[in-house]
Amino acid sequence: MDVRVEIVREASQELVDTFGRLLPQLSSTAKPLDHQAVQRMVTCDANTVLIARTAEMIVGTLTLVMLPLPSGLRARVEDVVVNGAARGQGVAGLLTEEALRIAREAGARTVDLTSRPDRAAANRLYERLGFRTRQSTVYRLPLDG
C-alpha cells in the first residue's frame, strides 16, 4: 500500500468525514466532530494533526500535542487511529515516526503516549519504536457530566 503522511492545516469536508469514520474505531464514547471542531483542532498552536493518505482516501490520523512547560517542551501522541482495513500495513508506524521527527526537530525533551493493554499490536509498535512503559498513574476527571 502506497501511503503518504501529511500535516493538516485546514479542516476540509474530507477530513470531517474521515474523523466521522475513524473515531468510532478508536473510542465508543467519542462524539462526532463537526467542521468547526475539526478546524479548531487543526489550527490550535499546540497541535500537529497528521493524516496517512492513500490514492483513494485518508486511512489514518494522529495528533501530536506539544506543550512548553517549566520542565521543558513536552510532546504527547494522541488519538492514533487507522482504518480497520488498513491495519497491519505499517500506517500507524509511519504516522508515529513522523510525529517523533517533528517533536525531535522542535526540541521536545520527551514524547508520551497512552495505549490500552488490549491493543497488543499498537503496544508492540510503540515498544519497537523505543517507547518504554513508565511507572506512573494516569488520573482522569470527566468534566462533561
Nearest-angstrom CA–CA distance, 134 and 83: 28
Q: Is the pLDDT of residue 83 over 90?
A: yes
Q: Is the pLDDT of residue 145 over 70?
A: no
Instruction: Give pLDDT, residue 103.
Output: 98
Mention every residue, 6+ apart, whose C-beta is less than 8 A from residue 20: 32, 33
* H-run or E-run covering 94: helix 91-106
Mention every residue, 6+ apart, whose C-beta is less than 8 A from residue 28: none
- Superfamily name and number for 4-128: Gcn5-related N-acetyltransferase (GNAT) (3.40.630.30)
Q: Is the pLDDT of residue 85 over 80?
A: yes
Summarize the confidence of residues 8-29 as an average pLDDT.
94
Q: Is the pLDDT of residue 123 over 90?
A: yes
